[in-house]
A and B are shown apart, each in its own frame.
Chain A
């Protein structure tokens, strides 16, 4: 029997991934919009699969500890709690981690145009898994020598409509703009898939 509570239904969790190479500003971006100070969670992944017990002291197995910084935004009117998870830098382990992608709305791929190659693994991964994403080019020291068109061309994005935005990861307004751009993309996609 369902229970019909008179109280407002509890907010449902949803997540958006924040990906990009080491030092590109993922945690800074999360901090800019999160209602809590970013937290760090860790997971131990091994070549034998995920979810095994602690292997401290056992040699000869490929194991690594991956860490993610994350924050949250409670969206009362939408009745959801949005979690922003900064993905761990070791992209080669992502495929072993089903939890990471499952249920994600989409992603922001943060790029540093001085080290563009570091964002390729994240872009390849999301493109191959079909997770919608937008690209945010972090402007370090407030500067960005390239235009969004130049960045888009250099990234060889499979979908030419993928938005590329210039942003300062410290700016709440810029980060919000990036999230809105991702939501616009998701809304467009949802309309195409299931016309009202």
Chain B
């Protein structure tokens, strides 16, 4: 067993560095289609936050917000590390999350008709 240093590979920021050492505890409820919005609290003290965090908060400015998958893609991170990182931001109250509609909502005829009508006008 040799541990090749792989000199050609770009060094990546390790996950624990981005998430302050936390892992699985934070990831509950954040799926790839969950929408993340920065909170008002995030406006203060931005300067002291890590660069990656600031980039995410800027990207997810209210009212729109961005889906987890979109943030991951734009930050060039895989989904799982991004979910962990977002879990950290969530715990610190810097972001809010809006889960995708559940089955009872997505089987609602009125909502489906609204989606259909809206799509038809695109």
Contacts and interface: CB of A to CB of B under 8 A. Distances in A.
A136 B102 CA distance: 26
Interface in A20-71: 33, 39-44, 50-54, 57, 65, 68, 70
A81 B108 contact: no
Interface string B41-84: 00000000000000000000001010101101110001111000
11 contacts: A10-B63, A39-B69, A44-B80, A54-B81, A72-B67, A77-B117, A99-B31, A99-B32, A176-B120, A180-B119, A183-B116
A153 interface: no
Nearest to B71: A41
A-B pairs, top 6 by smallest CB distance, nearest first, are A39-B73, A78-B114, A75-B118, A183-B116, A103-B100, A41-B69
Contacts of A41: 32, 69-70, 72-73, 78-79
Interface residues of B, number: 48
A14 interface: yes
Nearest to B34: A13
Interface in B99-113: 99-103, 105-109, 111-113
A39 B75 CA distance: 11
A10 B90 CA distance: 18
B73 A12 contact: no
Contacts of B63: 7, 10
Interface of B: 3-4, 6, 12, 15, 23-24, 27, 31-35, 37, 63, 65, 67, 69-70, 72-74, 78-81, 98-103, 105-109, 111-120, 122
Interface stretch (A139-147, A155-163, A186-194): A186-194
A73 interface: yes
Given A13-B33, A77-B117, A193 B98 contact: no
A interface SS class: mixed
B55 to A, nearest CB: 15
Size category, A interface: 35 or more
Interface of A: 7, 10-15, 33, 39-44, 50-54, 57, 65, 68, 70, 72-73, 75-83, 85, 99, 102-103, 105, 172, 176, 179-180, 183-184, 186-187, 189-191, 193-194, 196
